[in-house]
Amino acid sequence: MSIASDMTKRATETALRRRIGQRLVVLASLALVVLAAASSLIMVRGIDRQIGDVVHTYEVRNQARELTIALAEAESSQRGYVLTRDESYLEPYRRAAASIDTRLLSLVAITEDDPAQADRVRAIGGDILAKAAEMERTVELVEKQRSAEARTLIQTGMGARLMDEVRRTLEQFIAEENQKLLDRNRGIDESRRWLVAAVVAALAGAVVLGYSLLARTQLEVSALARSQNRLLSENEVLEAHVQERTRAVEEAREHAERERQRVEALLQDTNHRIGNSLATVSSLLGLQLMRSKSDEVRQALEAARSRVHAIASAHRRLRLGGDLETASADEFLDAVLEDIASTVSDPKAVALVGHIDPIVISARDATTVGILVGELVTNALKHAFPDGRTGTITVSLKRDEAGVPILVVADDGVGLPEDGVGGESGLGSVIVKQLSNQFGGVPDYSIAPSGGLVVRVSLPGLDGAQSRG
């Protein structure tokens, strides 16, 4: 009896120890899973903070850039007004001056949560306000017929030095913002690596403990139960793996889409900034044009200004498609024609009409086509309607029966001179010929039935051109 009782007692104690061990394994597994979940949550919060830092830094940097552009525009218009006393400079100056105040207030508002950053912005703001006051002072002197004092104030160079200091300070501020973002990202990346290691270790421990528990359970059941449990376990692991892979693919797709949108925004911004820079060059040529007394020099400067303006218009108006490699000819060239029409001194005298098919062209060729159209239209405006004559210029880009894009620019003006066809020795015709040759075409000049001039250019080398169906 005592032997049987001892055996029963030992069996009971063994079973009790086994149950306690199983519960401890379960609790340890749950603790590791909770640790992995907490580490994942911390990692997600770190990623959210990183994204917030990126957005905030980009906004601060963008406001600083826009503030720099507004300052440059205000200074350019102020100098133009002081040097020429042309009141047409006052409107862009006032607009740019108002934009300076708005951009500065926006920059102060978005940096007020960071005391050090806010102090830096206020210090920069003081220099900017000093420069704005100096520009406003010179404008007031000119308005009070004290132009000599205004020019003297400019010639001292204090305003230029102050402007250089403001630009240098803003660029340094933007560089510091970029460095802060890099430092934050490095810290978050380091934390992420440790958290990922902790998650992997916790999950590995949970898997080991779970497997140990499963092995102990399998010892107590039949062979069929063990096989079924193993099958269920493998099925669960496979489903988890599929879900994880699906989630990873979705995250990769979303990341790629965000990167595509970011690259598209950067490309659009780059084209816009190139256009703005060229527009500034055009404005500087206009200033030099007004100061030149030689008719020959004025004509050369006017031709150069018109061509720079056409190139600037082509860059500003370029809108890429979803593949970031092509653009639609109808949207792009219609916008270029609108820009050219805005520069005509009397828009009611000469009308610009566009008939552009939705031909898809490569981004590499879009700017060249825009410059070619701008040169042809500008030549027509310059030569076809002398002495205030009215008329219409029609621009079309369509495919012929062979599918080759054909550019036609026609006017109902005075037509060709008697001594030559199209003035092919002129600089404008040389430029048109060279641009046409890039696409394997040659410009053809002919007289329209109404007496005007028709320029027809075949563009067989216009790659990437496909009609949108």
Model-level pTM?
Answer: 0.40
CA angle, 340 as apex, 336 and 344 as ends, to 5°? 165
On whether both 34 and 182 belong to a single domain, the answer is yes
All residues at 6 or more sequence positions from 298 whose CB lies less than 8 Å from its CB, including other chains: 289, 292
Choose among 68, 73, 60, 66: nearest CA to 269: 66
Q: Which residue has the higher pLDDT, 316 or 338?
A: 338
Determine contact, residues 453/384, Cβ cutoff 8 Å. yes
Same domain? 214 vs 338: no
Say if residue 455 is exposed, middle or buried (CB neighbours under 10 Å; 0-12, 13-18, 19+).
Answer: buried
Examine residue 428 and state whether it is found in any structural domain, yes or no.
yes
Report yes or no on 127 lying in a domain: yes
Model confidence over 33-85: pLDDT tens digits?
787 778 777 777 776 776 777 677 777 778 788 878 887 887 788 778 777 87
Tokens 């880009």, residue located: 397
Spacing of C-alpha 345 from chain mean position: 32
Q: Kindly state whether residues 200 and 85 are assigned to the same domain.
A: yes
Token code pair at residue 119? 């102090």
In tens, the pLDDT along 416-458 reads 765 544 445 567 788 888 988 998 889 999 888 877 899 999 9
Least confident among 147-151, 205-209, 270-274 = 270-274
Do 70 and 189 share a domain, yes or no? Answer: yes
In terms of domains, do 208 and 332 share one?
no
Q: Is the pLDDT of residue 311 over 60?
A: yes
Amino acid sitting at position 217: T
Mean pLDDT of 460-467: 60
Mean pLDDT of 364-393: 85
Does residue 207 register a pLDDT over 90? no
Task: Give me the residue label for tokens 């009070």.
Answer: 144
Asked if residue 413 lies in contact with residue 383, where contact means CB atoms within 8 angstroms, the answer is yes
pLDDT of residue 469: 36
Asked whether residue 207 falls in the same domain as residue 334, the answer is no
Helix (H, G, I), strand (E, B) or coil at 403: coil
Residue ending a domain, choose from 220, 245, 279: 220
Is the pLDDT assigned to residue 467 strictly greater than 50? no
User: pLDDT at position 65, please?
Assistant: 80
Local structure of 350: helix, strand or coil: strand
Q: Which domain holds residue 205?
A: 15-220
Of 194, 220, 246, the residue that ends a domain is 220
CATH number at residue 380: 3.30.565.10
Instruction: Judge whether 64 and 170 are in contact, CB under 8 Å.
Output: yes
Alpha-carbon radius of gyration of the chain? 36
Determine the average pLDDT of the residues in 296-303.
60
Into how many domains does the chain fold?
A: 2
Q: How do strand 391-399 and strand 350-356 relate by DSSP bridges?
A: parallel
Residue-wise burial string across 36-62, b where 16 or more C-beta atoms lie within 10 A, e elsewhere: beebeebbeebeeebeeeeebbeebbb
Q: Give the residue from 190, 220, 250 where a domain finishes.
A: 220
% of the chain exceeding 90 in pLDDT: 6
Between 409 and 215, the higher pLDDT residue? 409
